[in-house]
Structure 1
Amino acid sequence: MESSLLSIQALVTKIKLETFSPKNDLYSFVSPSAYDTAWLAMVQDPKERGRPLFKGCLDWVMSNQKEEGYWGVSSADGLPTIDTLPATLACLVALKTWNASDEGVEKGLAFVHANTKILVDVNYQHLPRWFVIVFPGMVELARATGLDLFMQDELKGVISSIFKERQRIFETFVTDLTLFKIMNYREKPVDKFQYPPIFSYLEALPSTYEIDEQATVSHLSENGSIFNSPSATACAYMATGNQKCMDYLESLAQRCPYGVPSMYPMDGGLIKLSMVDHIQKLGLAEHFQEDIDEILEQFRNRKKQLSEPRGTDDALAKIYKDSLAFRLLRMHGYNITPWSFCWFLNHEDILDHLEQNCEHFRSLIYNVYRATDVIFAGEYELEEARMFSRKLLEKTMKSSMAYDNFVTCPSFRGVIEQELSLPWIARLDHLDHRMWIEENRVSPLWTGKASFYRLTCLQDENIMQLAMENFKFRQLIYRNELEELKRWSKVTGLCDMGFGREKTTYCYFAVAASSCLPRDSLVRMIVAKSAILITVADDFFDMKGALDELQELTEAVQRWDGKGLRGPSKVIFAALVDFVTEIATEFLHQQGSDITRYLQDIWRETFSSWLLETTWSNTGYIPSADEYLRVGMTSIATHTIVLPSSCFLSPRLPDDKLKTNHYETITKLLMAMARLLNDIQSYQKEQEEGKMNLVLLHLKANPDGDIEDSIGYVKNILDEKRKELLQHVLMDELSDLPKPCKHLHLSCLKVFQMFFDSSNRFDSNTELLQDIKKAIYDPPEYRILKPIRPQRCSRGVTTQKGSTVHAHFNRTFTSYGSKSPKIFATVDDGRKLLIPPRFNFCYI
């Protein structure tokens, strides 16, 4: 364990220097685009003909060809994606232009010929619009440069079909024929919402289009670019010699002298926020808290931003950044208004643009949706933003274009599916961190005209190694603590009562997965032991004990004297006394004061509430809704869990906050919400047992309604209280409780939300087993793929759906990491084909 901790500390130190140092150039974190870099590499030096103007870009192209012959983005499993085809063709044109590398050209052409049909066939039903525009343009350019492409008959049909689809797009959307001198295209009604605009693909327009300098100038941004696109601007300069285009390209090459990004300029603030968001998603925030605070401090004085953005592109980038900043700032306790990002709701043109092109803006809409997780009471603009963004996310998942850009970012689809199906408040942080570790191979930042922009720091191997080691280090601690807890459960006799639910592992898993700091071992153990005691005692009151036996136990707790108890009552009371003594002794040792009486009073109150509910059930008494909720808030016993354990946080809970009947608002909210969550999922069981809960009480008071109406009524109460609790957790001015204590309240709520969000998972003996394995036992499946010795194979590829496409292949891939490669199928000559998870194809 000590060696693991030393390794973690060494990695943290290294990452602080390499990633968070103020000396670092933020553009060094932006992934270069092979496609755009190739276009700059094609530009000729106007002062010395026959030489490239941006030799650094040409050097980058020559140095970054993959061993398999391609350029561009690999998949989550390290394999070529569909956007490698236009990127590879553009790089081949750059090499051919300057006769730079015959070997590189040969390898690139071999890749294109061997893989075009596979990549197109596998994704044929979902070819992205950008690909249909860019790929034919690169084919035409490659042929015009003298590259020998697609002589095989089997490829001619594939290429022809893509060219026809491009013509259909231009016939549908090319409208301004005074700017587009394109032959044989019919004018169509203007679709002002099409994104990206056709002119942003200037470098890929049909060969029949003669680039007009006047039209180009009319599309230039203030910085001299065509829609901030290096490739389109390079093309515009080569066609027109426009000086503003040259100024833009020189500025870009000076800032990024080798590989250039897909978009320039980029927002440095957005890059910093994305780094913070990424570190938090991986569960590493505890190691970089000072760095995170320093970055967020730069955004703390954000005011309402209702000014008119400069154009649609500027507005969309602004929404992305503002929504990300809002979530991060609010989660860190900054007082920030929803209008800092909800301003776009007042712009019908922006709303329409997003709705018409939502497939291109999934990452933006996803950020907007996540920002609305932290909504407070009365923030109706956030309600509107949440409904709007959810509607668009659901639309993109159902759309026929649902795979546009998911082709190159398949894991992002799974991320969105989880976000829509399971709310943030019902997910445990530790499991979320695992998901982001496993999905990190593809980290989308922003959707561009031909793919996702990415940050290289988000895929840094040091950061990923730290995330892996940090997660496994926690797991080691959790396994040790769970074994200790099981021994305690055994020694006290609580796990062998012979009735009710044995939930030792469930209780520990819940607290460990919801609170991610390993140093809080004592807090986790107090929470888990409290939950185990509560579960056993509550089951004794509900299932086993006779009324007189329960009265004796409750009276013994009131006296704090177990004389005369027997059977389960004696076991429960003895475990309770030992537990309270253990906590009080530890607190006396740490803080020098005695909290025994406070702890006893909380448990006395809890046992009294259980006895009162059992008496109601046995006598048939039906309480009013207010009376029921007042008692039910206590009997759910969340305060019995969070308050004693908060005494050991730093800073700790003050002693006087343990006084019964003097609980803070945030504690009362947690108590009420836990009860309501339980009631929604347990009303059927309690109805059969002759018990009452709030759902049944509302149904009884409204006989003309049905059970769904009553459930909806309780859910509405729950929703409002959730917003109020979030506000008390995140805003300092509403409560003087220490911040760690408030966050423990939030963790407890997330546990109850997880247990009772859509079913009663706590009572299931199997539903949580997989999550427990992922949280405590199984290491994350983060695989590093490496190529092995080249070999050739005759033909064959198998998709996940089982269909077969025939083509030639160049390499064999295998995986190295926590799991052995999975054998999925056998190719024609009998050799094995490895199919990576979540990916549509593999080639050998």
Structure 2
Amino acid sequence: MNYEIQMRVDAVKAMWESIEDGWLNISAYDTAWVALVEDINGSGSPQFPSCLQWIVENQLPDGSWGDRAVFLSYDRLLSTLACVVALRHWNVHPEKSKRGIEFFKENLERLAKEDPANMSVGFEMIFPSLIEMARDLNIEVPDPNTHPILKQIYAMKNEKLKRIPMEVVHKMPTSLLFSLEAMPGLQWDKLLKLQSENGSFLSSPASTAFALMQTKDKNCLRYLNDVVQKFSGAVPNFYSIEFFEQSWAIDRLTRLGISRYFGEKIKESMNFFYKNWKNTGLGWNRYTCDVPDLDDTIMAFRLLRLHGYDISCDVLKHFETDGEFFCMVGQSSEAVTAMFNLFRASQVSFPGEKIMEDAKRFSCEFLTEKRAANQLGDKWVIAKDIAGEIGFSLDLPWYGILPRIETRFYLDQYGGANDVWIAKVLYRLLRVNNEIYLELGKLDYNNCQALHRTEWAAVQEWYSESGLDQFGLDRDRLLVLFFLASSSVFEPERARERLAWVKTSALMEAITSTYNHQRLRSAFVHEFTNATATSLRSSKVNERSPGLVNTLMKTLHDISLSTSTAHYGTLQKMWKKWLLRWESEGDDCEGGAELLANMININAGYFLSRKLQLNPEYQRLVQLTNQLCHRLQSLQNSKEPASSNNSNKTGLSDPEIESKMQELVQLVLLNSSNGIDSNIKKTFLALTKTFYYAAYCDSKTIDTHIAKVLFERVN
């Protein structure tokens, strides 16, 4: 590992060592609410003077408060008015409140130009409440009865209040607990029974501060004391965020192609998710699971499945009504990214999971319609290229997504520290979106790509020396084979597997295309059998002898020298098993994938014992892989475009392939009760996905991917 990569790996590890319950930036809005709390002992001074001081010290140059880098009117106006209210309430720093209210009045009209998709959570409820607080303090704000924008927002609030069943608000936990500061006519004796274990109301500092002002509840005070201390005198928009932060961070590290550096920490997170898993779903932390949301639930669900945990998809039934899926009960509109995450998770399905099929259908249709209408703005995040992320997943099913292809595209789509999230105000997830991840991803990708290009040069030299161009294998096809192998097994330390993969694929294609009649097949197998017998007796390979048999023998001999598990005799027996089957079955032979997987696994250092090969689960794994790869190869050879470039498709229109892929995914992902190494199993899935990819994508798409993945350096 070079110094630049190691330095950033260490930085990420240090970041994760202190992850605790999450870390996000300070919210001016919530800090203002906490600053409004008066001393519960009745001294008349602020209970949290540090929050008031934070407001004083963090006014932006234009007189506003809010996110420094991104100007979103919802965020700036709400944050600014809240801070002005806090300053005027305590009658301090009149010059700062004056500049703040001037900014407010000058920029109020900008609300009309904002994308409604980016409206902050509960804005139509919270903003009017703040306006009324400002008017009570004689702060000069426009009259909501005459100002057109304020009239519209007040009307939205009144309409929403009509739809809120107050008896439900007081009876059971709902998402409305997140914004109690905007709610009139609350019955606190009932609401305190809905308080979270950590003392908060749905982990919102603003909502909890308002509750403390109304009740002087000691648990509210305990929560706010903890958060103010944690964040050095101020508060974020919500806290804690352990489920949310860890699942999104792992997803980003994975898509950036760098998760392998942090396997131990990721395993800890997976165990944490599994330990705290609830069949009714998760919230963004362990205190909000009484109000579960689809987004946090489905992200954890997908990661747990991919890491081998047995998790039931029945959890989705809590987020579905009449075939439609929702993020939270009572939500008026669905977030694009929530449906995107549902779509991604729904593809990691097992046989017989109807709810997963329904989820895939619904989310695919939702995203396809939004894409066609160019309406991919999101209510939860302002990110660099959400449209690109969604387009990539709609155009290429998960069964056909190879790791390097996904990473190469995501490196262009990931916004790093520039991505900003939306709740009541804008906020930043410092361990999900940062420049260190992006820098490490780019360095690692370019390092791997440089190695792959060196290997490609060596493979071409082997190809020329072996004379494979005389046996029906051209250089362009060889490049495709190398691309498939290096896009799946990309890590520098896995060079042996990669080269065994491409050379085995190349030799198999050369043999099957050249010896394409029964008589020719038999002659080749006879020659191979004699040559292996001779080489085993003499322990030598005739390097000067021409022909495919000798090329095969020499290649196996060279491979056997590179690892202790790839014994020359073992490799010969594996090839002979396939050749004998191919001799009798010809194009109908389904054993090629088994040979390829075995060559990869042996070169990875795994010993394929007889006990393993007699294991019923392993035998089914081999059978499925052989059947799927043979069928997918047939589709590829037919040269009929499998995808027809229809973005509404979610895979190949072959029910048998879909069913067997689901079974294969289940066999590979679920931990074996009989001890089959998960990495051995993953080879079969990785291999099958390359066949799926080649069958699904047309030649133009594959050529584009090759150029981008292998030859286009990331800047």
CA contact (8 A) 1:93 1:145 kept: yes
SS of match in other structure, 1:459: coil
Whole-angstrom CA distance in 1 between matches of 2:424 and 2:220: 21
CA contact (8 A) 1:363 1:444 kept: no
CA contact (8 A) 1:362 1:393 kept: yes
Match of 1:725 in 2: 664
Change (3 A) 1:397 1:454: farther
Match of 1:13 in 2: 10
SS of match in other structure, 1:747: helix
Q: Letter of the aligned partner of 1:58 in structure 2?
A: L
| Residue 634 of structure 2 is aligned to residue 679 of structure 1 | yes
Percent of residue pairs identical: 22
Change (3 A) 1:63 1:143: same
Whole-angstrom CA distance in 2 between matches of 1:443 and 1:674: 41
Match of 1:378 in 2: 352
Q: How far has the Cα of 1:724 moved from its partner?
A: 1.6
Q: How far has the Cα of 1:671 moved from its partner?
A: 1.6
Cα deviation code 1:212-241 (max 9, x no counterpart): 4x5455445324655543223434555676
Structure 2 matches for 1:519-598, cutoff 5 A? 519-540=493-514, 553=524, 555-557=526-528, 559-560=530-531, 572-587=548-563, 594-598=569-573
TM-score (norm 1): 0.68
Whole-angstrom CA distance in 2 between matches of 1:335 and 1:92: 51
Cα deviation code 1:13-67 (max 9, x no counterpart): 343333135xx5424x234333212222233445576743223323444455556
Whole-angstrom CA distance in 2 between matches of 1:662 and 1:556: 35
Q: Letter of the aligned partner of 1:43 in structure 2?
A: V
Q: How far has the Cα of 1:108 moved from its partner?
A: 5.6
Cα deviation code 1:561-583 (max 9, x no counterpart): 999xxxxx965444333322222
Whole-angstrom CA distance in 2 between matches of 1:515 and 1:638: 16
Whole-angstrom CA distance in 1 between matches of 2:212 and 2:617: 73
Cα deviation code 1:640-683 (max 9, x no counterpart): 32211211214443478789x99832122112112222334554
Pairs aligned (count): 690
Whole-angstrom CA distance in 2 between matches of 1:268 and 1:336: 20
Instruction: Name stretches of at least 5 consecutive residues in structure 1 with no aligned partner.
Output: 181-189, 206-210, 564-568, 614-630, 687-692, 694-710, 781-817, 819-844
SS of match in other structure, 2:603: coil
Whole-angstrom CA distance in 2 between matches of 1:354 and 1:774: 39
Change (3 A) 1:174 1:445: farther
Q: How far has the Cα of 1:520 moved from its partner?
A: 0.5
CA contact (8 A) 1:72 1:88 kept: yes
Q: Letter of the aligned partner of 1:648 in structure 2?
A: N
Change (3 A) 1:509 1:262: same
CA contact (8 A) 1:46 1:53 kept: yes
Match of 1:81 in 2: 72
Match of 1:169 in 2: 156
Change (3 A) 1:408 1:644: closer
Match of 1:477 in 2: 451
Work out which of the residue numbers 24, 31, 51 in structure 2 matches 1:30: 24
| Residue 42 of structure 2 is aligned to residue 55 of structure 1 | no
| Residue 489 of structure 2 is aligned to residue 515 of structure 1 | yes
Q: Letter of the aligned partner of 1:749 in structure 2?
A: T
Q: How far has the Cα of 1:722 moved from its partner?
A: 0.9
Q: Letter of the aligned partner of 1:87 in structure 2?
A: S
Structure 2 matches for 1:409-428, cutoff 5 A? 409=383, 411-428=385-402
Q: How far has the Cα of 1:744 moved from its partner?
A: 1.4
Work out which of the residue numbers 320, 326, 329 in structure 1 matches 2:304: 329
Work out which of the residue numbers 258, 271, 280 in structure 2 matches 1:284: 258
CA contact (8 A) 1:324 1:367 kept: yes
Whole-angstrom CA distance in 1 between matches of 2:652 and 2:251: 36
CA contact (8 A) 1:234 1:249 kept: yes
Cα deviation code 1:479-519 (max 9, x no counterpart): 22222222222333335768767223222222222224220
SS of match in other structure, 2:206: helix
Match of 1:798 in 2: none
Match of 1:813 in 2: none
Change (3 A) 1:49 1:723: same
Whole-angstrom CA distance in 2 between matches of 1:752 and 1:557: 27
Q: How far has the Cα of 1:79 moved from its partner?
A: 3.5
Whole-angstrom CA distance in 1 between matches of 2:329 and 2:28: 30
SS of match in other structure, 2:595: helix
Q: Letter of the aligned partner of 1:26 in structure 2?
A: D
Structure 2 matches for 1:233-632, cutoff 5 A? 233-235=208-210, 237-238=212-213, 246=221, 248-264=223-239, 266=240, 268-269=242-243, 271-300=245-274, 305=279, 314-317=289-292, 320-339=295-314, 341-342=315-316, 344=318, 354=328, 357=331, 359-360=333-334, 363-387=337-361, 390=364, 403-405=377-379, 408-409=382-383, 411-441=385-415, 450=424, 455-495=429-469, 502-540=476-514, 553=524, 555-557=526-528, 559-560=530-531, 572-587=548-563, 594-602=569-577, 604-605=579-580, 608=583, 612-613=586-587, 631-632=588-589
Match of 2:113 in 1: 121
Change (3 A) 1:712 1:143: closer
Cα deviation code 1:773-792 (max 9, x no counterpart): 44334344xxxxxxxxxxxx
Whole-angstrom CA distance in 1 between matches of 2:430 and 2:489: 29
CA contact (8 A) 1:33 1:261 kept: yes
CA contact (8 A) 2:313 2:353 kept: yes
Instruction: Name stretches of at least 5 consecutive residues in structure 2 with no aligned partner.
Output: 535-544, 643-649
Match of 1:768 in 2: 702
Cα deviation code 1:730-758 (max 9, x no counterpart): 2343665432221111111121222222x
SS of match in other structure, 1:57: helix
Change (3 A) 1:359 1:656: same
CA RMSD of aligned residues (A): 5.0
Cα deviation code 1:337-382 (max 9, x no counterpart): 444x346269889967858637355555544444433322234454
Q: How far has the Cα of 1:721 moved from its partner?
A: 1.1
Change (3 A) 1:130 1:393: farther
Q: How far has the Cα of 1:117 moved from its partner?
A: 5.1
Work out which of the residue numbers 222, 229, 238 in structure 1 matches 2:195: 222
Change (3 A) 1:25 1:501: closer
Cα deviation code 1:67-86 (max 9, x no counterpart): 66654347xxx533344322
Whole-angstrom CA distance in 2 between matches of 1:352 and 1:79: 29
Whole-angstrom CA distance in 2 between matches of 1:444 and 1:365: 22
Q: Letter of the aligned partner of 2:235 in structure 1?
A: V
SS of match in other structure, 2:162: coil
Change (3 A) 1:171 1:83: closer
Cα deviation code 1:327-346 (max 9, x no counterpart): 3333222334444x346269
Q: Letter of the aligned partner of 1:52 in structure 2?
A: P
SS of match in other structure, 1:26: coil
CA contact (8 A) 2:346 2:356 kept: yes
